[in-house]
Amino acid sequence: MAATTKTIDQLAEAVAAGDRRALARAISLVENDDPRGWELVRALYPRTGRARVVGFTGPPGAGKSTLIARLVEHARNQGRTVGVLSIDPSSPFTQGAVLGDRIRLSEHFLDPGVFIRSMANRGALGGLAEAALQAVLLMDAAGREEIFVETVGVGQAEVDIVDNADTVVLVLIPGSGDSIQALKAGVMEIPDVICVNKADHPLTDTMVREIRSVLSLGPQQGWRVPIVRTEASRGEGVSELAAKIAEHRAYIEAAGELAERRRRNLRNEVLTIAAARLRRRLEAAVADDPRLQALLDEVVARRLDPASAAEQLLAGAASVAVQD
């Protein structure tokens, strides 16, 4: 189903009808920054906003993929369709997703009610690819009722997962230095639900006490962040975690916070896309400009500092960069 053999309208209709191959092709177009991908998003955007988007973040090795696989199984047992977007480290050679085919999710690959996609972050700060929200929108338009977004486990920089999800789940494991680092304020401010996975560890009780201590320093009004113990490899605690995720969704809907969250998410996405495109246009505008080389010579000679050079560059080229 190549885009060259189908019009954008035909591909959009195929995505909206739930065609898995069309959805895969559409996400590839967006991920590759193909103009046809953005046309697809534009055509399908009015059909979005129905899916429940849940973000999962946490340190490497916390068992996020296994946990998501169990939650996919739970959702499918309830008859709900699922989309999974896994943001992986980029290959330094191909810029593709290193982890690629999620082994933990392999049992769901042949289920037509489950769509799984890995996306390379390509160096994007915060563990999320720039096109992640666009991929989520396409899954939403394709009728996926539950969408799980999993980030690269890189620590505190992952706070931007909050810009792509209605509910954020922080997955931690006891007895890990990475987990202790995750208790710092930069990460602990973002979760709506905290999951302590591999809870058969002898230090689980200690970790739960530490988490509660950190949470007690935060706001005590509104939603109270629950701590759920799971053993994902055996499926223990998964039903309780799914219940807490659903409970949070019901809470923000009743409190009128869901619409505000999504407004904030989309605002950040608009600014992110605008900033990325402005940078590309600016780089193209000054690529062969001798004035840039002259500025760099001044910076190298220590006669001009980088910030002042940047101001001069913007003053001279910004008007060109924003032109179509």
Residues 125 and 208 in one domain: yes
Residues 29 and 75 in one domain: no
Residues 298 and 210 in one domain: no
Residues 203 and 65 in one domain: yes
Q: What secondary structure letter does DSSP report for 237?
A: T
3-class SS of residue 27 = helix
Residues 42 and 141 in one domain: no
* 6 part of a folded domain: yes
Tell me the residue range of the domain where 76 lies.
48-255
Distance CA 194, CA 171 (A): 6
* 262 part of a folded domain: no
pTM of the model: 0.83
Residues 235 and 135 in one domain: yes
* 260 part of a folded domain: no
Residues 30 and 118 in one domain: no
Along the chain (324 residues), what's the average pLDDT of each consecutive run of 10 residues?
68 96 94 89 94 89 90 96 81 40 60 88 51 89 95 55 82 77 65 93 91 81 93 94 97 93 85 79 80 89 93 71 46
* 180 part of a folded domain: yes
Distance CA 37, CA 135 (A): 10
Dihedral angle, C-alpha 227, 230, 236, 240, nearest 10 °: 20
Token pair 């809870």 is at which residue?
199
Residues 27 and 153 in one domain: no
**Taking a C-beta distance cutoff of 8 angstroms, is the pair 241, 228 a contact?**
yes
**Taking a C-beta distance cutoff of 8 angstroms, is the pair 289, 268 a contact?**
no
Q: Considering its fold, how many domains does the chain have in total?
A: 3
Model pLDDT, residue 254: 95
